[in-house]
Amino acid sequence: MKKTILLAGVMLLSLVLAPNVSAIGMITEPIAARDMLRGGEVSKTVTLFNPQDTEATFELGSSGEITGWVEFFESGKTDTAVSAVSVPPKYYYDVVAKIKVPEGTPNGEYLGEIFVKDSPKEQTGEEESSVGVAQMVSTEVLVTVTDREVIELDTTLIPESFTVQKGEPLKIKIVYENLGNVSLRPSFQLKVLSSEDESVVFNAIYPYADTEEAVKPGETKTMPVFEWPTAGQKTGRYFVEAVSLVDGEAMGTEDFRFSIKDSLAGGAVLGAFISSIGGGNAILGWVIAGAALLVLLIMVRFVFSKKRKISSSRMETAQKSGQV
């Protein structure tokens, strides 16, 4: 609600004030970074809005007790910090605010703001010149510093499909959300059981890849798709149980069921072929196939009709020859 009022107020201001008054919008809820360790960092997305009809340059900064704790980066470009960004007209623009607690900071709460400022250029005319009124909007930031490590991880499993053809891999998307205050590199234990007799058909632990960056505090990270091969497994229903492990300790369990079915055969093959004719649309495929069949029947009927006419003509000729 606060962010909606903030944006509406800024846009109203841009309409009622003089033409040389700039406007700026920031659509971000107040930020709370709790249980931060000294030297720890957390990243938050800040959404800017340029309601003007021209491109605007917005300056970025922090104030209050967190002055100097925040660096800003353009979304997807975390290598180089920026102090200002150019936003196209009528455009929403995301920047990443990285909050880092300085070493030696005492435990406690620190209150400050992240602000965005628009400094209008000097307006010139034939008779006079003027400088526009600068606008600034901000959002509150509360940082709680502690020396107590908090390890908390939420894991979500998203199967690509709950039905897998025999011989094809089961594909799983794994999403980690770090709710603690330390970076984590969780291992992943996968257990697959047969629903028929509850026997374990597979059980293994996969370490966190060395090439992947750790899941940082406050970060939601989607891992590369994990594949479990079904080759050698029987058709039927299976139960998957997955556990995320941090230093050998379970951080939560996710489970789901899926089925392994035989490869396409008979009618299924025909259905797949028809669907491919329609570019993946089965109804369109049947329409095209029906039209092709109709054209073929017309051609066959035309050929046989022509043959009958030729045969009839030859018989008439033979009869006339006999009479003579």
Please tell me which residue, 22 or 214, carries the higher pLDDT value. Answer: 214
- Tokens found for residue 171: 């594909």
What's residue 285's pLDDT? 72
What's residue 283's pLDDT? 79
C-alpha 265/C-alpha 29 separation (Å) is 55
Instruction: State percent of the chain over pLDDT 90.
Output: 56
End-to-end Cα separation, the chain, in angstroms: 107
Fold: same for 2-122+132-145 and 153-261: yes
* CA nearest neighbour of 130 among 142, 118, 139, 121: 121
C-alpha 181/C-alpha 124 separation (Å) is 52
CATH code, residues 2-122+132-145: 2.60.40.10
Domain ranges of the chain: 2-122+132-145, 153-261
* CA nearest neighbour of 153 among 175, 179, 186, 174: 179
By DSSP bridging, strand 236-246 and strand 77-82 are: unpaired
Report pLDDT digits (tens) over 68-78.
999 999 988 87
Whether 18 has a pLDDT exceeding 80, the answer reads: no
CATH code, residues 153-261: 2.60.40.2550
- Tokens found for residue 108: 């406690």
Query: Mean pLDDT across the stretch 223-244?
Result: 93
- Tokens found for residue 148: 């107590």
What's residue 232's pLDDT? 87
What's residue 127's pLDDT? 45
Q: Which residue has the tokens 């891999």?
A: 169
pTM for this prediction: 0.63
What's residue 188's pLDDT? 92
What's residue 146's pLDDT? 94
What's residue 207's pLDDT? 94
Query: Mean pLDDT across the stretch 250-261?
Result: 92
Please give the distance of CA 22 from its chain centroid, rounded to a whole number: 34
C-alpha 190/C-alpha 177 separation (Å) is 19
C-alpha 307/C-alpha 301 separation (Å) is 10
Whether 266 has a pLDDT exceeding 70, the answer reads: no
Report pLDDT digits (tens) over 153-198.
999 999 999 999 988 999 999 999 999 999 999 999 999 999 988 8
Mean pLDDT, the chain, integer: 82
Whether 265 has a pLDDT exceeding 60, the answer reads: no
214 pLDDT band (50/70/90 cuts)? very high
Report pLDDT digits (tens) over 272-300.
666 677 676 767 777 887 888 888 888 87
Q: Which residue has the tokens 């030729």?
A: 310
Report pLDDT digits (tens) over 116-156.
998 666 555 554 544 556 688 999 999 999 999 999 999 99
250 pLDDT band (50/70/90 cuts)? very high
Whole-angstrom CA distances from 201 to 157, 158, 235, 254, 260 are 20, 21, 13, 18, 13
What's residue 130's pLDDT? 47
What's residue 132's pLDDT? 55
Please give the distance of CA 265 from its chain centroid, rounded to a whole number: 35
Question: Starting from the edge strand earliest in sequence, which strands make up the sheet with 41-50, in order?
Answer: 25-26, 41-50, 91-100, 70-74, 77-82
315 pLDDT band (50/70/90 cuts)? low
